[in-house]
Amino acid sequence: MIIGVAGPYTAATEEQQQANLDRMTAAAVRLLEKGHTPVIGVHAALAIVDKAGPGVERNQAIMAISLAVIDSCQALLLLAESPGANRERDLVQAKGLPVYTHIDDIGPA
């Protein structure tokens, strides 16, 4: 399954943001080890937005790209709630696809 990984990204400090990304990445690694194809919308967005010029509204672009990535998933692993992660969850749920809150609830591929 292609499984999106969602959780908080925005934080008060860059260190906290990096810790949030690291948590999503660690979960994605575990999904990969189970044989799934994990994707993290924020990772995809940051690779683009970090290179964009000043005319791009950063948070809006991150959310738009992240939602587009998650829209292609067959399921979502929601690590913790946040405004952005909740939007990703709502998108997946609206399609009738599974949203997991514990990685152990996801079996091997």
Give per-residue pLDDT as tens, 67-76: 999 999 999 9
Q: Counting beta carbons within 10 angstroms of the beta carbon of residue 51, is it exposed (0 to 12), middle (13 to 18) or buried (19 or more)?
A: exposed
What are the residue boundaries of the structural domains of the chain, listed by start? 2-105
Evaluate if residue 104 carries a pLDDT over 90.
Answer: yes
Q: Which residues are paired to 78 by β-bridges?
A: 6
Task: Say if CB 46 and CB 18 are below 8 A apart.
Answer: no
The domain made up of 2-105 has a fold known as Rossmann fold (3.40.50)
Residue 55 has pLDDT above 90, yes or no: no
Q: Is the per-residue pLDDT at 54 higher than 90?
A: no
Q: What are phi and psi of 39, to 5 degrees?
A: -135, 150
Lowest model confidence (mean pLDDT) among 41-45, 50-54, 82-86:
50-54
Average pLDDT over residues 42-62: 91
Per DSSP, 102 falls in state: S
Structure confidence at residue 77 as a pLDDT band (50, 70, 90): very high
Quick one: how many helices (H) and strands (E) in the chain? Answer: 4, 4
